[in-house]
Homo-oligomer: A and B are copies of this chain.
Amino acid sequence: MDDKKERIIIIAEQLFMQYGFLKTTMEDIAKKVHMGKSSVYYYFKSKDDIFAEVIRRDTQIFQQKLNDAIYAANTPEDKIRAYVITRMTHLQDLSKFYSTLTDEYLDHYLFVEEVRKDFYEYESTVIKNLLEDGIKQNFFDVDDVVTISRMISIAIKGLEFPLFVEAKDYDPIKESNDMLNVIFNGITNN
C-alpha cells in the first residue's frame, strides 16, 4: 500500500520531468503505473498533491546532501564553503533536468514558491548557526548575525540567478568560490 504510493511518485516524477506538470495527465500517470485513474485518487487526493510529494522528496534529498556536506567539513569557514558549493552544484544539475518545468514555473509559482520559502527558511537557519559557531570559535568577527546571514543568502541568490536565465559560459563553482573569498576576507587591504 505504501509501495504503491512510492511507485506513483516515482512514475509521476519521471513524467513531470519529461513532459512538464501541465502536459502530464492523471491518465498518463495511471496508465504507466498500470492502474485505473480512480485508483490513483485512492492514494492521492489531487494532482497537486502528487506534485507536492515529488517536490517534498527532492527537497528532502537535497537537504540531506547539504547536511552531509556540512558534516564532512571541519572549520566553520569550510562548512559554509561546502554548503554553498554543494548547493550550487545541485542546482546546476537540477536546472538541466527541470528545464521543462522552469518554463512552466510561472503558472503554479504560488506552489513552488511555497516550498521555496520553506527551503530559504532552512537555509537561513543553517547559515545563522554556522556563523554563530564561527563566532564562538573566534573565527569570524560579525556584529549582527541575522543581518549577515541574510546578506549571504542574498549573495547566494545572486549566484543562483544566472543558472535559470542565461547559462552561457557561466561557471557557478568558480563564481561561488570568488564570492566566498570576498565574504571571508573582504577586499580592503589591512
Contact = CB atoms under 8 A, between A and B. Distances in A.
Q: Which of A134, A162, A185 has the most CB of B within 10 A?
A: A185
Contact of A184 (B131, B140, B179, B188): B188
A142 B188 CA distance: 8
A74 interface: no
A141 B187 CA distance: 5
A138 B189 CA distance: 7
Interface residues of A, number: 33
Interface in A151-186: 151, 154-159, 161-162, 175, 178-179, 182-186
Q: Which 10 A-B residue pairings sit nearest by Cβ, starting from the closest? A: A158-B158, A186-B186, A141-B189, A154-B158, A185-B186, A184-B188, A157-B158, A140-B187, A147-B178, A151-B178
Given A151-B178, A155-B179, A175-B150, A186 B189 contact: no
A26 interface: no
A183 B187 CA distance: 6
Contact of A148 (B131, B148, B151, B182): B182
